[in-house]
Every structure is written in structure tokens, then in C-alpha cells.
Amino acid sequence: MKQETLKSLEEQKKEYGVMGNTKIIGKDSLVEYLKNYRNGLKEYIVNISTQIQ
């Protein structure tokens, strides 16, 4: 399993290596969106678990 993971990592490095140090444009808005999505899912799970009990 470890060897498969290392092989996959090497393949990804070959494919995306050029982009490795490229600055992500719109990173702040993406991070904010992901945080809001995470919090929304957490709230949804809490609501569902409350209804089940």
C-alpha cells in the first residue's frame, strides 16, 4: 500500500510539478467558501442526528 501511495505521489508530482509554487488566485474566497460549506455540513449533521434521536 505504501509503495502504491508513493507511486501515485510521484505521478502527481510529474503532472502538477510545474504548478507547485504557483500562487493560487482567489485563494481567500475559496477558503471562505470551503469553511462555510464545512460549517453548513456540520450544522446539517447535528440537525439530522437530533431528529433521529
pTM equals 0.52
Say if residues 30 and 24 touch (Cβ distance below 8 Å).
Answer: yes
Backbone angles phi, psi at 20, to 5 degrees: -55, -40
- Check residue 53 and give its pLDDT: 84
DSSP-based three-state secondary structure for 23: coil
pLDDT tens digits, residue range 1-53?
Answer: 889 999 998 888 888 877 777 777 788 898 999 999 999 999 999 999 999 98
- Check residue 46 and give its pLDDT: 95
- Check residue 41 and give its pLDDT: 95
